[in-house]
Structure 1
Amino acid sequence: MAIFGSIIKSLIDLKESFTTEGEAEKNQEEVLKELLRKAKDTAFGKHYNFEEILESDNIQQEFTRRVPYFDYNKIDKEWWHKYHDGEENVTWPGRPPYFALSSGTTGKSSKRIPVTDEMLESIRNAGIKQVSALSNFDLPPDFFEKDIMMLGSSTDLQKEGDHEEGEISGISASNIPFWFKGYYKPGEEISKIDEWDDRVQKIAETAKDWDIGALSGIPSWMELMLKKVIEYHNLNNIHEIWPNLQVYTSGGVAFEPYEKSFKALLGKPVQVIDTYLASEGFLALQNRPDTSSMKLILDNGVYFEFVPFKPDYIKEDGSLTEDAPVVTLAEVEEDVDYVLLISTVSGAWRYLIGDTIKFTDKEKNEIRITGRTKFFLNVVGSQLSVNKMNDAVQELENQFDIKIPEFVVAAKRSEEDNEYYHYWYLGTEDNADNDKLAEALDNALKNANKNYKVARGKALHGVKVTTIDPNMFHEWNARNKKKGGQVKMEKVMNEEKLQDWQEFLKEQGAIN
């Protein structure tokens, strides 16, 4: 009998039974007040007069009125770069001990996002909430004695002056509590291996020594790791080496596009639990079964705002127009796409994280990630968001009985007839006719999006599909020094990036 596991499960159940929901809107007001209080004497707080905002009758409204939107480029150019010039008390008291490197999904240069001690505490608190939420899932006591594979970036952080730099998953893993280290795999030694391929090779070699009960990581890279373990040990599926695997904690991107290909690697079903850990903070987690939605964490150092996701408010680079309206948690509506803004204990203020979300249950404050502002394709009025693209690709998977874990799309004029087309590249190892895929994809998008249907009758002449090996997407990331860890594949390219992509595929022999 799993006595130790039973004790842990009982403690989790007990903690969950004493945890109250609280008042979400009140929690958010208190978070904002505390953020403003702590940062009022920083250069940022003085510039935007946080002291006066705190004295106003409606702090949320006054905060919105006085402080503009910031994306990374703007806040780094105006504020965060000062940390690297030796300044302190810039947007948060003191100096951050870490900077999270995030190259995101566009561009080759890494963003450097401050990570304060308060943010690390916030992430740890969110992790405890996630563990507590496991009491809502039907898991046996012995699950709580199994190892947990956290597939993130390297924990071998780079020392830069008085701070360290690395991806947020590596920073988080390098600060895990001592009591968790016995469960944490692949362990400190392997986690410090910098090269992704070398790290995964070592994981495959050592896999037989572990009793993995849970996996955690971004779906695309988790798939590659599982395939490597299966190949190395000549297995039919991952459960042949990890028979007690019961939970997969996904994060950062929608899991649905990867669901079919992921399940093909399993010997039996596992519980998929979504989380939302970004470089800027741990924002939401799935706290109950029978849903793919996540509950926003509203009392943990992050203040949320929401901008309706409409073409008039989104610039070509994915940033917001200055006149874009904003709503608070109290004002959101279900099934409406919003651009997410956050203010945090790391000194991000009204910060455009780049994700779009929608509320699936306002009462429970549950959301789903629906896409990225930079993944919005509107070159010829098609107004395609990435969630519509994901849905259409899933329809192709079902209709043609194939797996398509990765895709990318761009709009450009054809050299043959000078008409605009959407060029789709679908990553699949299965055989399918490109013309039939194009027709089905086009029809699915027409049925799902009236703006796309209108565009197809006007400026958008058609759809062209090319199927390629899914590994091409990973090698593309590798070429751009973005393999593994927190990396998410871009879904929409502009014409310049498309040309680079096509030349890369020709070099790899993937297309003629």
Structure 2
Amino acid sequence: MKDWNEKLNEIVEHAREWDIGYIVGVPAWCQMCMEMVIEKYKVNNIHEIWPNFGIFVHGGVSFQPYKKSFEKLLGKPIVYVENYLSSEGFIGYKMKEHALGMQLITNNNIFFEFVPFDDKNFDAEGNIKPDAQALLVNEVEYGKDYAILLNTNAGSWRYLIGDTIRFLNVDKCEVLITGRTKHFLSLVGEHLSVENMNCAIEEANNHFNISIPEYTVTGFPYNNYFAHKWYIATDDTVGSDELIMFIDSKLKQINDDYATERTSALTDIFIEILPEEKFLKFMELRGKLGSQNKFPRVMKGNMLENWDKFLATGKI
């Protein structure tokens, strides 16, 4: 079914007929599906419908911001397995349940190259420079961020997939997805990555006992200096001032560059709390409602213009 709403409704209607043992998909859409099932059948958690549900295989985005709200839908613990796949090929997967990273698949028709994700190789918009340095797997270093170039026997040649990864174990090719080449903020050298943002959101979820299933951040000039604005999706009650102060504090702890710039050029941090439905409606209007689509963590350019117009008028 091409229509995502039709697909979800059909799943909900047949939910009681199925003995679901595992679910595979992007966290946001799987969570939405389970919420709809729980609401439809007036149960306390998804295990009252699917008692044998025991494994969730996820990928595409970091699971950190979703985990707390996801677990509220469960009646018992389950096993989480992260994988890393794309239209171009299967890139990696977790070898063990509690492994920190995923192991790249280096023997399955993909030849990898790794471009250090820094100012030498990428411009301020996240575009790769013509003379960018590309390293082979035996040349990478532990703890550094890289963008991936894929070469496949299907004809892809040095394709920039758009993800950034960090090697946690060079010998075993274990990596962590840290963000996207175009989803970062560095207006004045704060070098704020999606990984930093995800960590701050996860901490906020736990501290305030809330669920933040989606968020996005933008940066802009402000009073001769610069500012960030966070748009937070939550249907829970939380004070906006307390939430942004907490997020700002956490980012200062985990990112030294951000902490430094918050004392100089990055003078202000703003927040707007919105219902989750706002984020979903924006994706629907863009024709991006569905399991293969993810809400951008950083808003720039035309996307930001459409977002501002949507918040003001409900249209794009």
Which band: TM-score by shorter chain?
over 0.9
Which among 264, 269, 290 is matched to residue 72 of structure 2? 264
Report the equivalent of 1:383.
Answer: 191
Report the equivalent of 1:468.
Answer: 274
**Range 197-206 or range 486-495, more displaced:** 486-495
Write the distance in 1 (CA, Å) between the matches of 2:291 and 2:97: 27
Amino acid at match of 1:449: N
Write the distance in 1 (CA, Å) between the matches of 2:208 and 2:129: 41
Report the equivalent of 2:175.
Answer: 367
Amino acid at match of 2:40: Y
Report the equivalent of 1:335.
Answer: 143
Residue 292 to residue 484, structure 1, CA distance change in 2 (3 Å): farther
Write the distance in 1 (CA, Å) between the matches of 2:127 and 2:87: 18
Taking structure 2 as the reference length, what is the TM-score of the superposition? 0.95
Write the distance in 2 (CA, Å) between the matches of 1:485 and 1:437: 29
What is the aligned-residue identity percentage?
40
1:420-499 counterparts in 2 under 5 A?
420-494=226-300, 496-499=302-305
The answer to whether the aligner puts 1:289 opposite 2:117 as a matched pair is no
Taking structure 1 as the reference length, what is the TM-score of the superposition? 0.59
Q: CA RMSD in A?
A: 1.6
Residues matched between the structures, number: 315
**Range 351-360 or range 489-498, more displaced:** 489-498
CA contact (8 A) 1:273 1:292 kept: no
The answer to whether the aligner puts 1:315 opposite 2:119 as a matched pair is no
Report the equivalent of 1:346.
Answer: 154
Write the distance in 1 (CA, Å) between the matches of 2:225 and 2:128: 29
Report the equivalent of 1:130.
Answer: none
Report the Cα offset of residue 503 of structure 1.
2.8
Segments of 5+ residues of structure 1 without an aligned counterpart are 1-192
Deviation by residue 1:134-159 (Cα, 9 ceiling, x = unmatched): xxxxxxxxxxxxxxxxxxxxxxxxxx
3-state SS, counterpart of residue 352 of structure 1: strand
Deviation by residue 1:410-434 (Cα, 9 ceiling, x = unmatched): 01134xx454210001111111111
1:62-73 counterparts in 2 under 5 A?
none
Write the distance in 1 (CA, Å) between the matches of 2:207 and 2:314: 29
Amino acid at match of 1:328: L
Q: Would you tell me which structure has more strand in proportion to its own residues?
A: 2
CA contact (8 A) 1:339 1:357 kept: yes
Q: Would you tell me which structure has more helix in proportion to its own residues?
A: 1
3-state SS, counterpart of residue 360 of structure 1: strand
**Range 276-285 or range 320-329, more displaced:** 320-329
Write the distance in 1 (CA, Å) between the matches of 2:9 and 2:106: 39
Deviation by residue 1:87-115 (Cα, 9 ceiling, x = unmatched): xxxxxxxxxxxxxxxxxxxxxxxxxxxxx
Structure having the higher Rg: 1
3-state SS, counterpart of residue 120 of structure 2: helix
Please list every run of at least 4 consecutive aligned residues from structure 1 whose deviation after the TM superposition is greater than 4 angstroms: none
Report the Cα offset of residue 259 of structure 1.
0.7
Segments of 5+ residues of structure 2 without an aligned counterpart are none
